[in-house]
Amino acid sequence: MVSVVLGADHGGFVMKNELLSRLKERYEILDVGAYALDATDDYPDFACAVARAVASGKAERGILVCGSGVGASIVANKVPGIRACLCHDTYSAHQGVEHDDMNVLCLGARVIGLELACELTAAFLSARFSGDDQYRRRLNKVLAIERQERDWQKGRIKNPIQRARQQ
């Protein structure tokens, strides 16, 4: 059974709970909140919790819901190993997994309705990374950039952008 972590701030609270109730029969669910509707909560807390659960292997996929989906996407992508994308169409929801190995789906509850959110979630969770050569090559480049940035930030290498220009 595929494990899925869900999280949402107040803007996505109702949608997350509805998704959770629809998914719990077919997936192993980890709910990282919000557990109550609180207009003062902050999306970075839930986005980080979802991203860390996926990056650590506690869940295979993550779903984040906030008002627009934008903030959650920005935060989740700060966690190494996360490829979070905001999707409001089914093509992007499955293609992001098939071609780019997307592992976190971000949704905007103030942008799309519940039925579309369910369709996007189904497309995302049923898709698998194709592993075709061109997609594997591109994913490896993304992972290399992530490693270089981490090494640069820790002072292990010179600025990777300057290094690329010199080559």
Residues annotated catalytic, as ranges: 66, 99
Amino acid present at 133? D
Contact assessment for residue 26 and residue 84, using Cβ atoms and an 8 Å cutoff: no
Biggest alpha carbon–alpha carbon distance for the chain: 54
* Total Cβ atoms within 10 A of residue 116: 15
- Exposed e or buried b for every residue in 59-95, given b needs 16+ CB within 10 A? bbbbbbbbbbbebbbebbbebeebbbbbbbeeebbbb
How far, in Å, CA of 11 to CA of 70, rounded?
Answer: 12
Fill in the DSSP letter of residue 60.
S
Contact assessment for residue 75 and residue 44, using Cβ atoms and an 8 Å cutoff: yes
